[in-house]
């Protein structure tokens, strides 16, 4: 488990170093994610070995948002001023994105799967 955790941390480190060195506008861990998928594709055995540790980390994913979420106490004034605006933006934008994404998927699938028949 420890070597697998070390591998995950090293890919995060690699991501952080590369995004800074190359001035990429991308969070370091996201680059680490992409590079680790590439490693898994090249060496499927590594993916097999790392999976339990990775799933362990992910099984409590929502706990990890709590500290950042509590930071909202510093934004209470913002929310009392702009709460309804944020709520409207989220209430309209989220179903819009779901509908647009699903319609696109179905439309393109119909085109490509018909072409394959």
Partner 1 sequence: MTELTDIWVYLSSEPLLWLSATLVAYSAGDWLFRKSGRSPLVNPVLIAVAMLGSVLLATGTPYTTYFEGAQFVHFMLGPATVALSAPLYANLRLVRSSALPMICALVVGSGVAIASAVGIGWALGLRGELLLSLAPKSVTAPVAIGIAESIGGAATLTAVLVIFTGVIGAVLTTPVLNALGIKDWRARGFATGVAAHGIGTARAFQVNETAGAFAGIGMGLNAVLTAFLAPAMIALFF
Question: Where do contacts with partner 1 occur on this chain (CB under 8 A)?
Answer: 5, 8-9, 11-12, 15, 25-30, 32-34, 36-37, 40-41, 47, 50-51, 53-55, 57-58, 61-75, 78, 82, 85-109, 112
Min CB(92)–partner 1 separation in Å:
6
- What stretches of the chain adopt beta strand conformation (E)? none
Min CB(21)–partner 1 separation in Å:
15
The DSSP letter of residue 5 is H
Min CB(115)–partner 1 separation in Å:
10
Residue 73 Cα distances to 7, 70, 83, 90, angstroms:
36, 6, 13, 20
Are 50 and 3 a contacting pair, CB within 8 Å? no
């Amino acid at each position: 488990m420890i070597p697998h955790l070390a591998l995950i941390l090293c890919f995060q480190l690699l991501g952080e170093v590369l995004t800074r060195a190359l001035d990429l506008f991308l969070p370091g861990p996201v680059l680490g994610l992409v590079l680790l998928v590439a490693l898994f594709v090249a060496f499927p055995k590594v993916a097999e070995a790392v999976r339990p540790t990775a799933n362990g980390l992910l099984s409590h994913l929502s706990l990890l948002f709590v500290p950042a979420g509590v930071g909202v106490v510093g934004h209470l004034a913002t929310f009392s001023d702009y709460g309804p605006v944020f709520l409207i933006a989220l209430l309209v934008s989220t179903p819009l994105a779901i509908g647009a994404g699903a319609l696109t998927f179905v439309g393109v699938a119909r085109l490509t799967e018909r072409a394959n028949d």
